[in-house]
Amino acid sequence: MEDDTLNRFLEYLETEQNCSVHTLETYGLSFAAFLTWAGSGFPGWRNCSADLFRDWLYEALKKGLSPATIRLRFAALRSLYTWLMKREGMPSNPLADVSLPKLRRGLPVYLNVRQMEELLELPLKTPVDKRQPEWLPWRDAAILELFYSCGLRLSELTALNAGSVQAHLECIRITGKGRKVRLVPVGEPALEAIANYRDRCDLDPRGPLFISRLGKRMSGRSVEQMLEKYIKRSSIPFNVSPHRLRHSFATHLLDAGADLRSVQELLGHASLSTTQIYTHVTKSRMAAVYKDAHPRA
């Protein structure tokens, strides 16, 4: 049976809030998880009680779901009930009295400069499978350079089109969360890597910037697999996700003296508090240097 309430809410997110496809999919999965658990006992969104949501929370904890996953699922539900109260006259929010597990937020894991340089060199040093297009390593090199040069999210990188790169202005046009557009400067090595890739690959000037060997827009999973391949060939002793390249970008900027507000703008963070986690990394490093170097530490 089609859920009219959810359909109206998701349409509101898409048309009025300009939420990204990724956000809509994440919210949809959260609602589906709850509805599957509730099954035939689902009383309708307006009749759900705090106890029902506590039972679902207890079930999630028993299954060992992480606090981050649980909080993500409940964020979707909280957003739904906020909308129901503001737009459809629901008198109260059943989630108001549901306490969620605290999020244990660790420090970002990042590559040091030497590790980053090693990774950036790998695509053009790795033997090429003759069954693959000859431009493939040049594409991979451009992707890694762009991740590090601009601190992109994975979804932002895969959404880039050939026209997103404005080489004459040395910047790139990025559509981030909430479909907010920002212009981010691009370093010369990244621009050169993109030019080398485009010289070898017959791209549609109106199509995606990064394509698969079949000529389709690269998926996020394809980028992750590409990165995994090079990490296995490197001396880097831990797993590296695209988001850890973003962490590396931010940490290296702050280490070199960039101010926090500028890094916030470059990353596309809506709130400065999100960016501030990187200051803990640089502070912890300063503390270690002080302890090692100061005679009275």
Supply the residues annotated as catalytic.
Answer: 153, 177, 243, 246, 269, 278
The alpha carbon of 40 is separated from its chain's Cα centroid by a whole number of angstroms, namely 35
Q: Which two tokens stand for residue 99?
A: 């306490």
Query: How many CB atoms lie under 10 A from the CB of residue 273?
Result: 9
| DSSP-derived 3-state class of residue 37 | helix
Backbone torsions φ then ψ of 173, nearest 5 degrees: -95, 120
| DSSP-derived secondary structure letter, 48 | -
Task: Report the side by side order of strands in the sheet with 181-185.
Answer: 165-166, 171-175, 181-185
d(Cα 265, Cα 85) in Å, to the nearest integer? 33
d(Cα 279, Cα 108) in Å, to the nearest integer? 10
